[in-house]
Every structure is written in C-alpha cells, then in structure tokens.
C-alpha cells in the first residue's frame, strides 16, 4: 500500500507524539530523580518481526534508539509463538539488551484484531539494582554479578495478569524497593497509555494505513542517509583515542575507527580497539552498534530516529574486543566507552568533512554515588552524573556545562539532590581554563564540591578523561583533564587510578570535589577574534595566563 506524503507526515507526527507522551508519563510518575529529573529513560514503537526502531520520542536518550531494538529482539526470540495480547516482558540483561544492568526494560507486544501489530517498549535507569556498589557503578567489578542483579527476559504480565512473583523478585534485589516500585509502575503505565493512543490512531486511520506509514518511514530514513553519505568524498580516514584504564589494571585502552565511504554507503571499522577487559568498560555488540547511530545523528542532525538510517552503514566490531563483550563480562561503565567511540568518530569525520563536525565533548559522565544510612537506620543512595563542556563548533564556541552527547538527559538540579539526600553542594560552578583553545573555544567544564551531612558515608566514582583530554578538531586545542579529589583526616587525596575508585570513606563535613573537562577547540587558536579572547578573560572563562599561553600576540594586543 502506498501512502501520500501529507498523510505520512501527519502519521509520523502522531506516532512520535505517542512516544513523547509515554516519555512524559514516566517522567512525571517515576520515584527516582535519574528518571524524574534527569530523564534517563526512553519509549518507542518497534517492528513486530525484526524489532527495529520505528519511532522514538524526542525526549528519550538517543543511545536507546538502537539499543532498544536489540531488547525487543531478545523478547521476540524468547517468546517465539508463545505470545498473547496483554503480555509484558521485563529484563535488564545488558549482553542481550544493551547498555548496563541499571537500565530496566519493559516490552509490550501490541495486538490489533487478534494479530501482532508492533511492540511498545520502555527503558528507564533504576536507582539501584543490587550488586556490590550502591547505584551499580562498580569500577572494580570483574563480572556482571558484582555489578547488579541480572534478570533475563521474563513475563511481567501474562495475558493482562500481573505476575506478582516477578515483582517480588525485583523488589527484593534493590536497596531502594520503594523507588523501584514507583519506577516500575511508571513504566507499566506509560506502556498502557501507548496502547490506548495506538488504539485511537488505528481506529481513526485504519491498520493498513498506519502499517504502511511505519514501513514508509523506514524507507525514507534509508534514502535520507544514503543522500547524506553520497554528498561526501569517497575515501578512508582513521582516528584513535584512549580510555584511562578499566578500573582493574592501570593500562590505557585504545579505541580506533576507520571510516570508509563508497558512494552512498558507509563502513565504520573498529578493528584495533582494545580486547575485552577484566574491568567494567566493556560493552555489548548491540550497544556499540547503537553508539554508531548516536554519532551519525550528531553529524547528520536531519536524519530521523529510525532503524532505516542504519541500512547503508556497515559496522565492523572485532570479536573478543571490549566493544563486543560476552556474558558475564562486566559492562557497568558502558557510558565511558561509547563516549570515546563517539569522540573517535567525530575526529575521523572531521577529516572527511572539515568544517562540519564539532570537537570532542568532555567525554565522561563521572558516575558518582554517595551512600550511607540516616540516623534512623534508613538507607540512602545518591547517584548522579555530572556535566562538562561541549566541543567548539563550526559556528561558535562550545556549550558550557552541558550533558553528555549520548543523551538528552539533564543533570538533576542541586535543589532536588539536596532535598532528597543528606548532602550539601559547597560549589556548583563553571571551571575556568577547562575549554580547549581554538577559533571557536571549547565549552567550559564544571566544579562540584559535595559535603556529607550524615555521620558517615561512602563514595564511589566511575569516570574517565583523567589521562587523555578531549581533543579539538581542525587545529583546535585539547580541553582540560578530569580531576577528582576527596577529603581525608590528613588532607585531600586522589584516586590511585585517577578516574575510578570504590569505598571512599567520608565523615560528616568532609567533601568530594569533581572538576570536569571542557570541550575541545574548533579551528586554530590563531584565528580567534581578539575581542572574544578579551571577553573570555573579562568573564573569567579564561585566565590571563592561559590566554597568553594559548592565543599569544592576539591576547597581548587587546590586553595592552
């Protein structure tokens, strides 16, 4: 069945709105701030047979676009023909569903007139799912069982009937059962709303028309991607970068990519990347492929959130590498690895299309957990991620204190964190001299200093970019390195492995301090407008000494 362009545009908007409403339903009902405030969640519509992403909401995390298709496929494979209207599946197994064990996935087959039409799915970052470290970011983990409770795909609802024993298992395997219960109910309600909205849409337009629109959207996404690639020169370009370490062995880990363009097809070859590691910076093959989509979406922003974009892209992931981890390899720090994958893809594409690609962003979410017990014995776990600078762009300076380019999530507000947990932020500020120099300067990172208000607590850090700074492009300079310190009775100390540490003991009044990287610079520093250099110094973004070191004669001219 063919569909006219106007009807296609209307239906595309309507289906995207369904995903947006599912997002909003969870954001407004979730109990934990990582979903409710930071929006670390996503919803979408997926193909009935292949599980491919058809539609995702605008507020959902981009990394989930590709990852959730693997999650839906896992349910399709597990269910086989044993699937019924009203079924709902739940799991968090990262090796078959992507990302890490904190991301709880719900998949609901959608039926129309007794036949499977598509799948609806929800994923949200739960606050705690067991494991050795509160909040689940354990940089010392050497297998998934040390990271969190592992749940394979199981039925949460069978033909509309809630399986309470599954709920009981989920709530028994978390330090924060009330939070988990609230998040689970929010995800289930979001999928219920999606079913109602799809019912109404099909009642209005008919199943054949809606199905034709879904097929047309995938074909259209493929055509758009092919047109973008065809406009680039044929050839092969390479780039590489490093992770600091895996949390177990203090050895740098290379991430390499070769970009090859032939006509309207693209190959991304990650051969030469580090082998699988003992520590938790491994990622699953599905996560690596999904990361490719995120980078492509950044470089070609007009491409839609649809699996059709990936049809003309060949992704080569070496076997037994840290980009193709197999169970039970730990994957808790997947965010750090995919951020480095995005960085190397940006650096490679900057050679393909100079003037089109932004410089590296700050490159780490700095997953920081602080946990303990309140005076009345109640457990508390504060987990959050933290911002940094984005890379300079072809059009201007990078964003100061933004969130990681793997997501549209927001950093939880200081007021929310201080009201929910026994901590106080002594500093939450921009970090001077942290952005890379360039014609367009990299954005600034941030400084966070957090004081514990209870008698004692423990902190856990999983970060990166402590040894290898975010890179500039087109001649731009690197950004500042990540820097973490914590207070002891003998003064301030640093992690032995720079960016990762578990079990940091803290007493009332002691602090941890994060100084996050900025973004890399775009273009040679010699091309920067002297007036903008003077403005940076006046606003405190760049010190006079750094301006002199980076911009030399241009700064001395305006400062004379």
Statement: residue 545 has pLDDT above 90: yes
In a 10 Å sphere around its CB, with 0-12 CB exposed, 13-18 middle and 19+ buried, how is residue 522 labelled?
A: buried
Cβ atoms within 10 Å, residue 144: 24
Average confidence (pLDDT) over 23-35: 94
In the prediction, which pLDDT does 436 show?
A: 98
The secondary structure of residue 465, as a DSSP letter, is: -
pLDDT in tens, 281-291: 999 999 999 99
Helix (H), strand (E) at residue 545: helix 544-551
pLDDT in tens, 471-514: 999 999 999 999 999 999 999 999 999 999 999 999 999 999 99
The secondary structure of residue 525, as a DSSP letter, is: G
pLDDT in tens, 359-396: 999 999 999 999 999 989 899 999 888 999 999 999 99
Statement: residue 62 has pLDDT above 90: no
Banded pLDDT at 540 (limits 50, 70, 90):
very high
Banded pLDDT at 230 (limits 50, 70, 90):
very high
Helices (H), 120-249: 164-172, 177-205, 207-230
pLDDT in tens, 147-175: 999 999 999 999 999 999 999 999 999 99
Residue 362 · residue 465 · CB < 8 Å? yes
Query: In sequence order, what are the residues at sequence separation of 6 or more whose Cβ sits closer than 8 angstroms to the Cβ of residue 402?
Result: 361, 387, 388, 389, 390, 443
Instruction: Return the structure tokens found at 181.
Output: 């219960």
Query: Which residue has 């009201």 as its token pair?
Result: 419
Integer Cα distance of 557 and 369 in angstroms: 47
Statement: residue 67 has pLDDT above 90: no
Half-sphere exposure in the Cβ direction for 195 (13 Å, CA) = 18
In the prediction, which pLDDT does 406 show?
A: 77
Cβ atoms within 10 Å, residue 285: 18
In the prediction, which pLDDT does 440 show?
A: 98
In percent, the amount of the chain with pLDDT more than 90 equals: 86
Integer Cα distance of 342 and 355 in angstroms: 17
- Backbone φ and ψ for 356, nearest 5 degrees, come out as -110, -30
Instruction: Return the structure tokens found at 89.
Output: 């599946």
Statement: residue 407 has pLDDT above 70: no
Banded pLDDT at 129 (limits 50, 70, 90):
very high
In the prediction, which pLDDT does 306 show?
A: 86
Integer Cα distance of 478 and 466 in angstroms: 13
In the prediction, which pLDDT does 484 show?
A: 98
Integer Cα distance of 262 and 230 in angstroms: 8
Integer Cα distance of 11 and 420 in angstroms: 41
Statement: residue 64 has pLDDT above 90: no
Helix (H), strand (E) at residue 493: strand 491-493
Whole-Å CA distances, 457 to 352, 381, 485, 488, 507: 49, 10, 16, 13, 6
Q: How far apart are the first and last CA of the chain?
A: 72
Instruction: Return the structure tokens found at 463.
Output: 């970060």
pLDDT in tens, 70-123: 999 999 999 999 999 999 999 999 999 889 999 999 999 999 999 999 999 999
Residue 405 · residue 399 · CB < 8 Å? no
Instruction: Return the structure tokens found at 329.
Output: 């390899």
pLDDT in tens, 258-309: 999 999 999 999 999 999 999 999 999 999 999 998 899 889 988 888 889 9
Instruction: Return the structure tokens found at 256.
Output: 């390499």
- The β-bridge partners of 104 are 124
Whole-prediction pTM = 0.93
In the prediction, which pLDDT does 59 show?
A: 78
pLDDT in tens, 316-343: 999 999 999 999 999 999 999 999 999 9
Average confidence (pLDDT) over 416-431: 96
In the prediction, which pLDDT does 469 show?
A: 98
């Amino acid at each position: 069945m063919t569909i006219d362009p106007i009807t296609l545009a209307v239906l595309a908007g309507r289906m995207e709105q369904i995903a947006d409403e599912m997002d909003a339903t969870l954001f407004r009902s979730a109990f934990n701030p990582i979903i409710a405030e930071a929006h670390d969640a996503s919803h979408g519509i997926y193909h009935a047979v292949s599980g491919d992403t058809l539609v995702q909401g605008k507020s959902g995390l981009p990394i989930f676009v590709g990852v959730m298709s693997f999650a839906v496929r896992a349910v399709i494979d597990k269910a086989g023909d044993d699937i019924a209207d009203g079924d709902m599946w739940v799991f968090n197994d990262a090796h078959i569903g992507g990302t890490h064990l904190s991301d709880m996935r719900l998949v609901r087959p959608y039926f129309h007139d007794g036949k499977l039409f598509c799948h609806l799915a929800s994923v949200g970052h739960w606050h705690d799912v067991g494991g050795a470290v509160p909040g689940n970011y354990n940089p010392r983990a050497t297998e998934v069982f040390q990271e969190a409770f592992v749940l394979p795909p199981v039925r949460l609802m069978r033909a509309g009937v809630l399986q309470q024993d599954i709920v009981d298992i989920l709530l028994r395997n978390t330090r924060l059962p009330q939070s988990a219960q609230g998040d689970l109910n929010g995800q289930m309600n979001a999928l219920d709303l999606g079913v109602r909205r799809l019912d109404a849409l099909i009642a209005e337009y008919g199943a054949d028309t809606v199905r034709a629109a879904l097929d047309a959207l995938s074909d259209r996404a493929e055509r758009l991607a092919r047109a973008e690639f065809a406009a680039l020169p044929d050839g092969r370009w390479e780039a590489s970068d490093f992770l600091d370490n895996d949390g177990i062995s203090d050895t740098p880990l290379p991430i390499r990519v070769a970009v090859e363009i032939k006509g309207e097809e693209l190959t991304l070859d990650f051969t030469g990347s580090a082998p699988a590691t003992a520590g938790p910076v491994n990622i699953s093959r599905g996560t690596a492929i999904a990361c490719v989509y995120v980078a492509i979406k950044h470089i070609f922003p007009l491409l839609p959130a649809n699996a059709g974009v990936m049809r003309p892209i060949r992704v080569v992931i070496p076997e037994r590498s840290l980009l193709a981890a197999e169970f039970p390899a730990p994957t808790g720090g997947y965010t750090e690895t995919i951020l480095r994958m995005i960085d190397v893809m940006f650096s490679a594409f900057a050679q393909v299309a100079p003037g089109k690609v932004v410089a590296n962003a700050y490159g780490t979410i700095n997953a920081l957990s602080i946990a303990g017990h309140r005076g009345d014995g109640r457990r508390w776990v504060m987990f959050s991620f933290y911002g940094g600078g984005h890379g300079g762009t072809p059009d201007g300076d990078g964003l100061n204190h933004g969130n990681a380019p793997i997501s549209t999530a927001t950093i939880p507000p200081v007021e929310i964190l201080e009201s929910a947990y026994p901590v106080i932020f002594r500093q939450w500020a921009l970090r001077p001299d942290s952005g890379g120099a360039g014609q367009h300067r990299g954005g600034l990172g941030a400084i966070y200093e957090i004081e514990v208000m209870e008698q004692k607590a423990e902190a856990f850090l999983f970060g990166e970019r402590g040894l290898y700074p975010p890179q500039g492009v087109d001649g731009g300079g690197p950004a500042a390195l990540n820097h973490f310190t914590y207070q002891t009775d003998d003064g301030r100390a640093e992690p032995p492995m720079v960016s990762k540490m578990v079990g940091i003991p803290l007493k009332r009044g002691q602090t941890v301090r994060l100084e996050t990287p900025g973004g890399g610079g775009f273009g040679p520093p010699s091309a920067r407008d002297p007036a903008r250099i003077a403005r940076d110094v006046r606003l405190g973004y760049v010190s006079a000494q750094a301006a002199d070191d980076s911009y030399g004669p241009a700064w001395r001219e305006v400062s004379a």
